[in-house]
A and B are shown apart, each in its own frame.
Chain A
Amino acid sequence: DTGVSQNPRHKITKRGQNVTFRCDPISEHNRLYWYRQTLGQGPEFLTYFQNEAQLEKSRLLSDRFSAERPKGSFSTLEIQRTEQGDSAMYLCASSLEEGSPLHFGNGTRLTVT
């Protein structure tokens, strides 16, 4: 069990630029989740996949955000035209389809200047 891996760990970008984050889940896990965490708050759900299908998107996920999981393995989260309000820790988690809690990666911290 190598755990959930997220890259990069940190990303600093200028407002208006596009950024993409990658998440590699635990290999046998079918479900993959993206959360966002701002300072002093708990993680907030963004979206989740079962295999390659994106099953739910939060209202927090504006049109500037897109997530993919093309082959049911790794996932990417892209933010277009970043805004300062996008600055946060983006956490990825994975789980088995049933009976297993979420296992989180160490997150990608985004700073938009």
Chain B
Amino acid sequence: AQSVTQPDIHITVSEGASLELRCNYSYGATPYLFWYVQSPGQGLQLLLKYFSGDTLVQGIKGFEAEFKRSQSSFNLRKPSVHWSDAAEYFCAVGDRDDYKLSFGAGTTVTVRA
């Protein structure tokens, strides 16, 4: 069965500093991988996805993620965070047959001025 681990429950970062969120997955084959962001009381918005090809993927809002098969990781990065990036971030692995997603528990990002 597929699963996702996000080791960091909460990260605090200064505005303008870089951000990296960790994600490790377990899946029997080549996975579909996703990062979603959720603001309080809202649904999930897709930041970026990896299906195949280039292992460094670019997303919206200046985010990027790198798929590393050898480490079973898909870490999310942003070079310079903005106050509006404060939110909860979820990594997910998708089944290639039914696109059913399994989510990690999420990482809450706080941005301090």
Contact = CB atoms under 8 A, between A and B. Distances in A.
Interface of A: 4, 6, 31, 33, 40-45, 48, 55-56, 91, 93, 95, 99-107, 109
Contacts of B49: 101
A42 B104 contact: yes
A104 B44 contact: yes
18 contacts: A4-B43, A31-B99, A33-B101, A41-B106, A42-B106, A43-B103, A48-B98, A48-B100, A91-B44, A93-B44, A101-B94, A101-B99, A102-B99, A104-B45, A106-B41, A106-B42, A107-B43, A109-B41
A105 B100 contact: no
Closest 8 A/B residue pairs (Cβ): A42-B103, A104-B43, A106-B43, A104-B44, A43-B103, A42-B90, A101-B49, A105-B43
A55 B80 CA distance: 43
A103 B46 contact: yes
Interface of B: 4, 32, 34, 36, 41-46, 49, 51, 90, 92, 94, 98-106
A49 to B, nearest CB: 11
B74 to A, nearest CB: 14
Given A99-B51, A109-B41, 12 more contacts: A4-B43, A40-B106, A42-B4, A42-B90, A42-B92, A42-B103, A45-B101, A45-B102, A48-B98, A56-B100, A101-B32, A102-B101
B98 A56 contact: yes
